[in-house]
Amino acid sequence: MKTVCLYFQVHQPWRLKVYRFFNIGKDHNYLDDFTNRSIMQKVARQCYLPMNALLLKLIKENKGAFRCSFSITGSAVEQFRAYAPEVLDSFRALAETGCVEFLAETYSHSLAALSSKEDFVEQVKLHTAMIKKEFGKKPSAFRNTELIYSDQIGAMVSELGFKTILAEGAKHVLGWKSPDYIYTNAIDNRLRVLLRNYKLSDDIAFRFSNKGWDQYPLTADKFASWIAGETGEVVNLFMDYETFGEHQKADTGIFDFVKALPKAILKQGELQFSTVSEAAKAYQPVGVLHCPHVMSWADEERDVTAWLGNELQNEAFSKLYALKDKIKALKNADFSYVWNFMQTSDHFYYMATKWLSDGDVHSYFNPYGSSYEAFINYMNVLSDFEIEIDKALASKKGWRKKETVSA
Amino acid at 369: G
Q: Do residues 151 and 290 make contact, with C-beta atoms less than 8 angstroms apart?
A: yes
Catalytic residue among 78, 101, 122, 146: 146
Amino acid at 407: A
Q: Is 297 exposed, middle or buried (0-12, 13-18, 19+ CB in 10 A)?
A: buried
Amino acid at 385: F
Helices 49-61 + 85-96 axis angle, to 10: 20
Active-site annotation holds for 386: no
- d(CA 260, CA 208) in angstroms, rounded, equals 15
Burial 142-180 (b: 16+ CB within 10 A, else e): bbbbbbbbbbbbbbbbbeeebbbbbbbbbeebbeebbbb
Q: What is the DSSP string of 110-133?
A: B-GGGT-HHHHHHHHHHHHHHHHH
Q: Do residues 147 and 109 make contact, with C-beta atoms less than 8 angstroms apart?
A: no
- d(CA 16, CA 315) in angstroms, rounded, equals 18
Catalytic residues: 146
